[in-house]
Structure 1
Amino acid sequence: MQNLMQKEQTTTLSRATLMFPLALVLFEFSVYIGNDLVQPAMLAITKDFGVSSVWAPSSMSFYLLGGACVAWLMGPLSDRLGRKKVLLAGVAFFAVTCLLILFTHTIESFLALRFLQGFGLSVISAVGYAAIQETFEERDAIKVMALMANISLLAPLLGPVLGAFLIDHVSWHWGFIGIAFLAFLSWFGLKAKMPNPKVSIPKQPLSYIWDDYKQVYKNKTFIGLTLGLPMLAMPLMLWIALSPVMLVEELGLSSVQYGLAQFPVLGGLIVGNIVLIKVIDRYALGKTVLIGLPLMLLGTLIVFLGVIWREYFLYCVILGMTLVSFGEGISFSVLYRFALMSSEISKGTVAAAVSVLMMFTFFFVIELVRVLYEHFHLWAYALSCLTLIVLWFTFPQATLKKIMLGRKERGEF
């Protein structure tokens, strides 16, 4: 059993040590824009394939499902073979699948390739993030995660605008060519700058993976924190998945107007991450989460009011989702760190366990809301967002407060 964390020398944040996270975030950017550029183009893609626009959110949900299905193996594999080796193989695989999708002619084959591209999500979350947490000290790791999030947020900001440009002027195929190019660039950066520490891990059979996962998932603290992550992130994920249908089809916005509507919403997430970096050293770890979640609840209530007063929906959804994204920005990296450190099992396995739980949740919730949206439209979106945030104030909030109390009693800031 891998009950003990492998001891590694952590480093402090400096210009030199930032080169590895910057190379990793280039891949993260390519994976995220692999969703954020494609989602706006899905209306054109479904038209090309001769199917209903109802298929549009499935591009995102199958992308997430692909990540969920392989995450369980990525983390433990990187524990045994080394983070760097597994990460480089995953980056190359993602780039190749982006090129293969150019040859699809049906929505089924398109979604199958989207499923395979989703493996890239697991490479980041189960391998890349684990390497970041192991490389840097606690608060520096949170700062690096927040900084990476801000850079990768260029993807959802630029994606809708680039997607609109591709639809209007060229072809959606060029988007995947550009994504593959970025992934290949990141591969060279990671090969040159990613540390590759020689960590002694007992050579145990792969059957021990199951025993490690059982220990992780029996940990109530881990479950409470990890369930809180998709509750916190899901409203913005639903926005990215459904906003093309809501804003373009329901409200009649143009592709360019749709792209511009993303700026305040995703700008809120960027501002939230900047605020987190600025205040993380001043407050007890976890305090920003307790501030961010009430703001997110207020944001989802504003979205709900917009559905009641439909003539104000556009203004309410943009204002509400901006509050939601800001709250996520000051909360997510802290909650992720707590979740990853809640178990003594090796960090690759724990990171993979987080990824599996999160991405399966993302897949099922997006597909459920997609079906509900067919029948209830904007009501389905608003009620889903509100319900997810309300649920956070149950078991996840209690778990977080328990951890913060334990840290205070131990004299940890």
Structure 2
Amino acid sequence: MISQPISRLSWRAMLFPLSLVLFEFSTYIANDMILPGMLQVVHEFNAPSSLVPTALAAYLAGGAALQWLLGPLSDRVGRRPVMLFGVAAFIVLLLLTLPTSSIGQFMVLRFFQGMSLCFVTAIGYASIQEAFSETAAIKVMALMANVALLAPLIGPVAGAALIEVAPWRSIFVIIAVTTTISLFGLWRTMPETAKLRGTPFNAREIVGDYRKVFGNRRFVCGALAIGAASLPLLTWIGQAPVILMERAQMTPLSYGLWQIPVFAALIAGNLTLARLADRVPIHRVIAIGLVPVMAGLTLAAVAMLIDSNAVAWLVAGISLCAFGTGLANAALYRLTLFSSTVSKGTVAASLGMITMMLFTVGIEIVRWGYGSGGNLWFACANLATGIGFCLLVRRFLSNHDTPAVGA
């Protein structure tokens, strides 16, 4: 149990975040590496290409399924044992992909594999926030995001290269190996930070905690803002194989290379946040991040209105949006998590449920309209999301100095 939050980021202090981010990296790359091979997957199982984004939606739906239980459970049983169980289960679920023989089995496995995201958001992030001081936690989260974002940066390229020489199922074996390394690292370095450990698991008390969290309008506003900030990137990840490989007739390798500017911009935003965290008030950093988000999404929508085949302009707009998202998200997460005084496992789980469900619904809405609206629909839907993000952030920051309501 950590008695005082860590404020100095020594190498020893960073061993736990590094082990955690390797697990987070594995959960992300489990989606990103398979994306170039998704057309092969649906063709092997005689399924339509329109199901490609549904695989991502199923993964994210799994990421929302266990949040409600894991947060309160880790508060009472302990963060460490629940996290270690989740990492081990993810390894088993990855290997179960090898004998799949239908698209239905594949989608069900994607749902259960997506539950690994629950352990990252409901337990891992809460542990980081509890183990480190505010400024240190924001820096750690921003730096962790950069490592985790190597997955969408290198995942599509690595997946495209791998499926040229090996079956698509081999991707899941490689990810199982990296997850095993993470499991060992977490076993050796993860501290126990749950303050309610040993408290009886009382269902009525847990329901009461969730009522307090979801009754906190400022928290809900912040959680929705976090989801809206990331949704354009998630819809891009889900729809890009269709936009680039099927419609623009790119090769899997070209598809992977076109992901680089988007996620390089996201990493640049996180690095900028890490530099500004102890120099500029975090609510001001969030407000600054709104500018590139809206500029990028507006650019993408206008470009698609002029020429729906101008993929380069679409990627440029999404990349600019990604920079703003990277600049704002970790700071917004910290403020949102501490907008309620309920135990952080429950708060983190509530935040994860809201964002994951928003991602799942948003991706499916974009997929549904893409068949008839094409790239213009994709860009305009994301612009609408960006406007919602700005309104939510403005509401959230307008009373950032006031006490949390319902907490």
CA RMSD after TM alignment:
1.5
CA gap 1:80/1:264 in 2 versus in 1, 3 angstroms: same
1:163 to 131, 153, 159: 159
Structure 1 equivalent of residue 355 of structure 2: 358
Bigger CA drift: 256-265 or 200-209?
A: 200-209
TM-superposed deviation, 1:7: 9.1
C-alpha offsets along residues 115-167 of structure 1, whole Å, 9 cap, x if unaligned? 00011100000000000000000010010000000001110011111121133
Does the alignment pair 1:371 with 2:368?
yes
Structure 1 segment 402-413 matched on structure 2, within 5 A: 402-403=399-400, 405-406=401-402
Q: Are residues 1:385 and 2:359 paired?
A: no
User: Are 2:339 and 1:329 equivalent residues in the alignment?
Assistant: no
Shift of 1:380: 1.8
- Secondary structure of residue in 2 paired with 1:322: helix
1:126-275 to 2 correspondence within 5 Å?
126-197=122-193, 199-201=195-197, 202-275=199-272
Q: Which stretch of the first structure deviates more once superposed, 29-38 or 6-15?
A: 6-15
The C-alpha deviation readout for 1:201-249, integer Å capped at 9, x for no partner, is 4324133211110110000110111110111000011111111100111
Question: Which deviates further from its counterpart, 276-285 or 119-128?
Answer: 276-285
Contact conserved, 2:263 with 2:319, CA < 8 A, in 1? yes
For residue 47 of structure 1, what is the aligned residue in structure 2? 43
SS in 2 for 1:168: helix
Aligned partners of 2:2 and 2:191 also within 8 Å: no
* Alpha-carbon distance in 1 for matches of 2:364, 2:319: 23
Is 1:9 matched with 2:4? yes
Q: Number of aligned pairs?
A: 401
Map of 1:69-108 to 2, 5 A cutoff? 69-108=65-104
Q: Percent identity?
A: 39
Residues 2 and 192 in structure 2, CA contact (< 8 A), matched pair in contact too: no
AA partner of residue 343 (structure 2):
S
- 1:309 aligns to what? 306
Q: Can you list the C-alpha shifts for 1:360-410, whole angstroms capped at 9, x where unaligned?
A: 11111111111111121112210111000101222332212320x559xxx
Q: Structure 2: how far apart are the matches of 1:94 and 1:88?
A: 10
Query: Where do residues 339-354 of structure 1 align in structure 2 (5 Å cutoff)?
Result: 339-354=336-351
- State the partner residue of 2:27: 31
Task: Name the CA distance, whole Å, in 2 between partners of 1:204 and 1:252.
Answer: 54
Report Cα offsets for 1:231-283 as digits up to 9, x if no partner. 10000111111111001111111111111111111000111111111111111
Question: Which consecutive residues of structure 2, in runs of 5 or more, have no partner in the other structure?
Answer: none
In the superposition, relative to structure 1, how do residues 186 and 59 fare at CA in structure 2: closer, same or farther (>3 Å)?
same
CA contact (8 A) 1:44 1:167 kept: no
Change in Cα spacing, 1:105 to 1:204, as seen in structure 2 (3 Å) is closer
The one-character-per-residue Cα deviations of 1:62-103 (angstroms, maximum 9, x if unpaired) are: 000011011111111100110000000000011100000111
Paired with 1:64 and 1:343, the residues of 2 have a C-alpha distance of 25
Query: Contact conserved, 1:33 with 1:179, CA < 8 A, in 2?
Result: yes
Q: Per-residue deviation at 1:198?
A: 7.2
Alpha carbons 1:306, 1:312 under 8 Å: kept: no
Q: What is the alpha-carbon distance in structure 2 between the residues aligned to residue 376 and residue 362 of structure 1?
A: 20
Please state how far the C-alpha of 1:200 moved relative to its aligned partner. Answer: 4.6
1:383 aligned counterpart, secondary structure: helix
Q: Which residue identity lines up with residue 305 of structure 2 in the other structure?
A: I
Q: Map residues 106-125 of structure 1 onto 2, 5 A cutoff.
A: 106-125=102-121
User: Structure 1 stretch 307-316 or stretch 138-147: which is displaced more?
Assistant: 307-316
Say which is worse superposed, 202-211 or 352-361, in terms of deviation. Answer: 202-211
Q: What secondary structure sits across from 2:399 in the alignment?
A: helix
Alignment partners' CA distance in 2, 1:199 and 1:286:
28
Does the 8 A contact of 2:283 with 2:331 survive in 1?
yes
Could you tell me how far 1:293 is from its partner in structure 2? Answer: 1.1
Task: For structure 1, list consecutive stretches of 5 or more residues without a partner in the other structure.
Answer: 1-5, 408-413
Deviation of the 1:38 alpha carbon: 1.5
